[in-house]
Amino acid sequence: MKAFLECVSCIIRQTIEILQRVERSEKRRQDILSAVIKKLAKVDIHQMTPPEATKFAHDVIQKMTGIKDLYKKPKLQNNREALALYPYLKSLVAKAADPLLMAIRLAIAGNIIDLGALAEFDVKQTVKDVIKQKFAVSDYQRFKRELKRAKLLLYIGDNVGEIVFDKVLIEELIKQVGVVFAVKSEPVLNDVLMADARMVGLDKVVKVIKSGSDHAGTTMARGTKEFKRLFKKADMVIAKGQGNYETLDTEKKNIYFLLKVKCPCLAQANGFSQGDIILENLR
Amino acid sequence: MKAFLECVSCIIRQTIEILQRVERSEKRRQDILSAVIKKLAKVDIHQMTPPEATKFAHDVIQKMTGIKDLYKKPKLQNNREALALYPYLKSLVAKAADPLLMAIRLAIAGNIIDLGALAEFDVKQTVKDVIKQKFAVSDYQRFKRELKRAKLLLYIGDNVGEIVFDKVLIEELIKQVGVVFAVKSEPVLNDVLMADARMVGLDKVVKVIKSGSDHAGTTMARGTKEFKRLFKKADMVIAKGQGNYETLDTEKKNIYFLLKVKCPCLAQANGFSQGDIILENLR
């Protein structure tokens, strides 16, 4: 989908948030923000997807700060926090009447571990809320049916922290189907990289590949050869989070989008409400 | 004070909010937002006050939409809502142990009537909250002392709706001092104009003049001859709201700033907290 008017506002807000974290000099912050605005003024962001638009700002910040991974510190913390919850998540699946559905719900709940430390209590409470929440869209029956016949499922990851929740779902999926997990090729926001898959031990469970993407979604044109091959070969794809929904919604492929709707624009454009949980196949 | 890094984010957000209200065509909205960004990319907003920075965006929107008063409809509604509360506000002052202090508190509470309709219940509740709230800074004793000796007080207004609350305070002030009320010369945001002073009958109570300002604060260099003369002549000045605090803080004048702190940047830069209520004389 194309970027919204409001994306500009979000990109600027995000830029300021990053600069306040990684750049101490107020003068440099001003210079970098000005450069980002100059860049945004030159491109027509409405001709691209939201993650592609965001990438323009990130490129400027990375270049001017000399920092390639702008979210390095908070990412490590998020992974650690999520890993501490792993036994709890496993126990929820073990106790569930429908373990697969519970694992899907948890994978969506993982979306809540966003930047900024959350107390363990808060995460657990939000997990409990999502477990009870009604799906706004659910293609679960079709998903379950297809899973029985599928040989290969490509699972496109989203954020750090969340990847631990993905692991819990993947450990259920591999009981029925072969799974390959895709991470980003380059650091962008708090998105998962190969190092995160290793840190949470996901590489011990399934094959992990790079998607070729260096922005918050997945653009097929930038895919690595291996990613494109497996995307084509896979009987089913799970695409996690908003960034992937925004960039893969136009692909003619059997994709199940698994996400919590956080952006009011994405919500409005697709008939969702903010906060909705979604398991949707657009084909 | 100089504009903050975060002002850019706020200006873009405000631009989008205005466009969604006054411009129906999505294509035109995009064009206007792009033009605003291009303008912001060309000026160094950190060399000006926040209201001056905001003005650049407004100029572009006004020119491209052909609409001079971008907040016309919500402003009328806010004045009507506030006028309905006038008898209630008067009764609070009448019952108060210190009517002047109560009127000052109400004038600050008036700041809550911002754009967007509020239910009467909500406004009354917020008024009740502000009445009980402790001042973060209070120069009330000095204010009261000076009021006894003062001959002329210049009252620089802020927003519509709020002007009804200002009227209640002014009706207390004129028992002790001559008062002149200053409005903006040109439409900007939901700031008070001569028409608003007339709509709420303030022109029947005191002399109302134009400040010369066409942005959300007051810049002396742009002042009308009459405004500059009365600013100089006045023994005391009351400057309402954030915009006036941001633009008049460097003036060497006996100014009492009366405001509720809404912006986190203004709060941090001045040692306040968001939500604080202030009656402060910087000299």
**pLDDT value at A114 more than 90:** no
Structure token digits, residue A83: 């890993």
Say if domain B80-281 classifies as CATH 3.30.70.100.
no
Nearest to A143 by CA among A58, A258, A222: A258
SS (H, E, C) B185-238: CCCCCCECCHHHHHHCCHHHCCEEEECCCCCCCCCHHHCCHHHHHHHHHCCEEE
Q: Enumerate the residues of chain A whose CB falls inside 8 A of the CB of residue B37.
A: 8, 37, 40-41
Confidence band, pLDDT 50/70/90 cuts, at residue A118:
low
CB within 8 Å: B12 and A16: no
Residues of A in contact with B19 (CB under 8 A): 5
pLDDT > 90 fraction of chain A, expressed in percent and rounded: 84
pLDDT at residue B114 above 80? no
Contact A98/B at CB under 8 A: no
- The mean pLDDT of A106-133, rounded to a whole number, is 79
- To the nearest whole Å, the CA of B36 is away from the closest chain A CA by 9
Bridge-based pairing of strands B152-156 and B178-183 is parallel
Does the distance separating the beta carbons of B19 and A5 come in below 8 Å?
Answer: yes
- In single-letter form, the type of residue at position B18 comes to I
Classify the phi-psi angles of A49: left when phi > 0, otherwise alpha if psi is within -120 to 50, otherwise beta.
Answer: beta
Identify which of B176, B144, B183, B171 has the alpha carbon closest to the alpha carbon of residue B279. B144
The pLDDT assigned to A120 comes to 66
- Look up the pTM and report it: 0.82
Pairwise CA distance, residues A269 & B150, whole Å:
59
Lowest model confidence (mean pLDDT) among B28-42, B104-118, B156-170, B179-193: B104-118
Span of A20-24, A93-97, B168-172 with lowest mean pLDDT: A20-24
Question: Residue B125 corresponds to which tokens in the numbers above?
Answer: 């509740």
User: Do the Cβ atoms of A16 and B5 come within 8 Å?
Assistant: yes
Q: Residues B75, B160: contact at Cβ < 8 Å?
A: yes
Question: Per-residue pLDDT averaged across A79-108, rounded?
Answer: 96
Residue B117 has pLDDT above 80, yes or no: no
Residue-level pLDDT at B45: 84
Q: Is a pLDDT exceeding 70 seen at residue B115?
A: no
SS3 category, B279: strand
Q: Does residue B278 surpass a pLDDT of 70?
A: yes
Residue A194 · residue A75 · CB < 8 Å: no
Cβ neighbour number for residue A141 with a 10 Å cutoff: 8
Closest C-alpha among A62, A67, A70, A72 to residue A39: A62
Q: Is B57 on the interface with A (CB under 8 A)?
A: no
For β-strands A277-281 and A255-260, DSSP reports them as antiparallel
Within chain B, residue ranges assigned H as helices are: 5-22, 26-42, 50-65, 72-95, 99-109, 120-132, 140-149, 162-173, 194-199, 225-233, 241-248, 264-270
ipTM, interface predicted TM-score of the complex: 0.72
Write out chain B residues lying below 8 Å of A12, CB-based.
8-9, 12
Dihedral angle over CA of A35, A15, B29, B68, nearest 10:
-80
Q: Is B41 close to A41, i.e. CB distance below 8 A?
A: yes
CA-closest candidate to residue B260, choices B112, B102, B82: B112
Which helix H or strand E contains A178, and what residues bound it?
A: strand A178-183
- Nearest 5°: phi and psi at B198? -70, -40
Q: Which residue has the tokens 């697709």?
A: A270
Cβ–Cβ under 8 Å, residues A172 and A99: yes
Q: Rounded distance, CA A86 to CA B220, Å?
A: 62
Determine the Cα–Cα distance for residues A259 and B174; give it in Å rounded to an integer.
60
Per-residue pLDDT reduced to its tens digit, A138-151:
999 999 999 999 99
Which chain A positions have a beta carbon within 8 Å of B9's beta carbon? 9, 12-13, 16
| A-B contacts (CB, under 8 Å) | 48
- Does A153 score more than 90 pLDDT? yes
On chain A, the residues whose CB falls within 8 A of the CB of B38 are 41
Q: What is the CATH superfamily name and number for domain A72-281?
A: Uncharacterised protein PF01937, DUF89, domain 3 (3.40.50.10880)
For residue range A238-247, list pLDDT tens digits in order: 999 999 999 9
What's the whole-number mean pLDDT along residues B130-151?
96
pLDDT at B5: 87
Average confidence score pLDDT of chain B: 93
Q: What mean pLDDT comes out for the span A60-70?
A: 96
Domain extents in chain B = 5-65, 80-281
Taking residues B62-70, what's their average pLDDT? 96
Best B2, B5, B16 residue to mutate vs chain A (most A CBs within 10 Å): B5
The answer, yes or no, to whether residue B149 has pLDDT greater than 80, is yes
